[in-house]
A and B are shown apart, each in its own frame.
Chain A
Amino acid sequence: MFIYDYIKESYEGLISSVKALSVGFKHLFNKPVTIQYPEVKLKLPEKSRNRIAVIIDDCIGCYQCERACPVQCIEIETVKALPGEDLGKTSDGRKKALWVTKFDIDFAKCCFCGLCVYPCPTECIKMTEEYEYSVYDRRNLIYSFSKFSTEEAEQKKKNFELYGSQKKEEINKN
């Protein structure tokens, strides 16, 4: 009996190794599952959250997104339009009343929660498909979406202040 068990045991050991090998052989002819990342990319899921982009032409400067942001990564500054200036309309027909002189998003702080996307009344702040934007300097992660350069923004501010002081004088006169 002992010899029978011994031979059976060794036979089973051999057969199980051969079975394992045959599994390996089958896998040799399978298609590789590797995705060669920089060249080939997987399609992103529908509601994936990546870098945010702003369509600044549609922005009415309502500060909703800045208030919604849990990490305060959005910085907005607006200047009221002067009476003569026409700011045009957003794509969904709203009238714009504010110059958006500054719209900075710091993606070093951004936590990709997407909370800024939902409150936007004109749907100008959106998730993009972009997720590769690493840089060597953290300061390069501050994205400026405003069309105004800092000097232009200063100019706009001064114009408004000038207008405001003129208005004040008029009121004081009366």
Chain B
Amino acid sequence: MMTLNIAFVSKLLIIPIFFGIFVSLFALFAVYAERKISARVQNRIGPNRVGPYGLLQTIADILKLIQKEAPYPFGSDKIFFNLAPILSFAASFVIFSVLPFNYYLCGLDLNLGLIFIIAIGGFNVISILFAGWSSNNKYSLLGSMRSASQMISYEIPIALIFAAVFIAFNSLNTIDITKAQENYFFNWNIFGGDNHLLKRILIIPFSAISVIILFIAFLAEANRTPFDIPEAESELVAGFHTEYSGIKFSFFFLAEYSNMFIAAALISIIFLGGFSSPFGYIGSLLNSNFIINIEQFFWFTIKSLSIVFLQMMVRWTLPRLRADQLMNLCWKYLIPYSLVAVFYALIISYI
């Protein structure tokens, strides 16, 4: 039985509030970063009017969104129309509970962490289908149907890679996976994990392939640009959120950006050592747990944000795939390669 001590209660209160603040701050930062990066890739300047270097631009945007009227389209299903953005954000917010930011800020010590992520990630499909179907608009419905087909097919390589990860690293628990890669950067799974030399050399190609597959599949899961067929501005107006405005739209936006962060965080947890520092901690020299926690938080966010940066770069360099090309990429390339990765992981696990 779980004992209700002070530490547990404080965790129960602090962690959701912390993650709530973190997600909204991250979304603010990421929207600004996205606009700046897109501007720099295209040799523009980007937002620079609101506040110093345009830093307050997203806050102004949020204020604008909050003020907006939230009309219902004609013939829409009001219950599901309202439910969809909440569900979309809630689904991605719940996943934050299994992401360990440091020893203290990890919501759930779940044995089936990665399976949990896949299961909750399925809610995204449902919420997008709700949104598209309930808004009584052909473009929304088309967008949401495309999105459902895309997300369902890209969940398969993710699940297969998670299975391979489980076979190779013997854990589905995000905290355990992180703890196994502690101490120095050569213990990260992308450099072979904390193993003897032969196994390291065998694990490196597995990690490389898995990272690439996970990165691509997560991009598709988060509906990011090379795979933004559900939103496809030039074809479907705005896809499943065509009819949404104001605060409801901003919830979809928040969900998209938190999905981006989740994808980045998962890659950094599984392959880049999660919150573990690459060079050891200053806090361990000073014998202070508090400083170690801060350092771990720092390293975790730095690793995740650098992958978020990569996702943004991909968005602004690669064009959108056609629907059939998207399915080709998933079924003809990602799934066979991830099956190979599973078998390879089986072979490694016997060495």
Contacts and interface: CB of A to CB of B under 8 A. Distances in A.
Interface of A: 10, 13-14, 17, 20-21, 23-25, 27-28, 30-34, 36
B317 A24 contact: yes
Interface residues of B, number: 16
Contacts of A21: 313-314, 317-318
Contact of A34 (B44, B212, B317, B318): B44
Contact of A20 (B44, B317, B333): B317
20 contacts: A10-B333, A20-B317, A23-B317, A24-B41, A24-B313, A25-B313, A27-B40, A27-B41, A27-B43, A28-B37, A28-B41, A30-B40, A30-B43, A31-B43, A32-B40, A32-B43, A32-B44, A32-B45, A33-B43, A34-B45
B316 interface: yes
A103 to B, nearest CB: 42
Interface of B: 37, 39-45, 212, 313-314, 316-318, 333, 337
A14 B316 contact: no
A159 B89 CA distance: 84
A40 B115 CA distance: 56
A57 B159 CA distance: 85
A25 B41 CA distance: 7
Given A28-B41, A32-B39, A33-B44, 16 more contacts: A10-B333, A13-B333, A17-B314, A20-B317, A21-B313, A23-B317, A24-B41, A24-B316, A27-B40, A27-B41, A27-B42, A32-B40, A32-B44, A34-B43, A34-B44, A34-B45
Nearest to B37: A28
Contacts of B314: 17, 21
B312 to A, nearest CB: 10
A30 B39 CA distance: 11
A36 B45 contact: yes
A10 B333 CA distance: 7
Contacts of B43: 27, 30-34
Given A10-B337, A32-B39, A20 B318 contact: yes
B322 to A, nearest CB: 15
A14 B41 contact: no
Contacts of B313: 21, 24-25
A112 to B, nearest CB: 30
B318 A28 contact: no
Contacts of A25: 313
Contacts of B316: 24
Which among A21, A24, A25, A28 has the greatest number of chain B C-beta atoms within 10 A? A24
A31 B40 CA distance: 8
A23 B313 CA distance: 10
Nearest to B333: A10
A34 B36 CA distance: 13
Given A24-B313, A32-B39, A17 B45 contact: no
B224 to A, nearest CB: 14
Question: What are the nearest 4 A-B pairs in CB distance?
Answer: A24-B317, A32-B45, A34-B45, A20-B317
A73 B313 CA distance: 54
Nearest to B336: A6
B116 to A, nearest CB: 30
B214 to A, nearest CB: 14
B192 to A, nearest CB: 21
Nearest to A28: B40
A153 B42 CA distance: 59
Contacts of A23: 317
Contacts of B40: 27-28, 30, 32
A20 to B, nearest CB: 5
A31 B313 CA distance: 18
Contacts of A14: 212
A165 B317 CA distance: 83
A27 B38 CA distance: 10
A48 B178 CA distance: 66
A23 B333 CA distance: 25
A87 B215 CA distance: 84
A22 to B, nearest CB: 9
